[in-house]
Amino acid sequence: MSIKSFKNQGLFTGVLDVDGFGVDTFDSGLNAEKQKSALLFDGLDSEDDVTNGATVVFDGSTYTMDIDEAYDGKVFAIINKFRQSVQFTYDKSTTAQTPTAITFDSVGPEVRRLAALGYV
């Protein structure tokens, strides 16, 4: 599997409409450490303005988000503080999303920033 670089991210702290891209993250059921995990995605220019609930089980927790239906078939990832990530392809027809890869192959804006500063 090759490294997938994402343009946008939102922490699981209850951020509504991350950067105006029709993606919401929720902190329900997550402890303070798990809330530092981030949802990585590539934002779309247009949205359907219809969101569906989505969940992904990763690292012993269930992550909950609302994702605009326009993202159907797009790849997302959740990355934890150790930079391990789970990727999934969003399926608007189901709430429980199916992980397709659990690796260190997802990179978001925060990891790129840390790399540019020489920390990783």
* C-alpha span between 53 and 68 (Å, rounded): 9
* C-alpha span between 8 and 56 (Å, rounded): 18
Q: Report whether 15 contacts 34 (CB < 8 A).
A: no
Q: Containing domain of residue 103, as a range?
A: 4-116
pTM above 0.85, yes or no: yes
* pLDDT reading at 1 higher than 80: no
Mean pLDDT lowest among 16-25, 29-38, 60-69 = 16-25
Domain count, the chain: 1
Instruction: Look up residue 92 and give its amino acid.
Output: K
Could you read off the pLDDT of 66-96 as tens digits, one per residue?
Answer: 999 999 999 999 999 899 999 999 999 999 9
* pLDDT reading at 46 higher than 80: no
Pairing type for strands 61-68 and 23-26 reads antiparallel
Q: Report whether 60 contacts 26 (CB < 8 A).
A: no
> Alpha carbon of 28 to those of 10, 35, 96, 108, 117: distances in Å?
15, 9, 16, 23, 33
At 114, the pLDDT band (50, 70, 90 cuts) reads confident
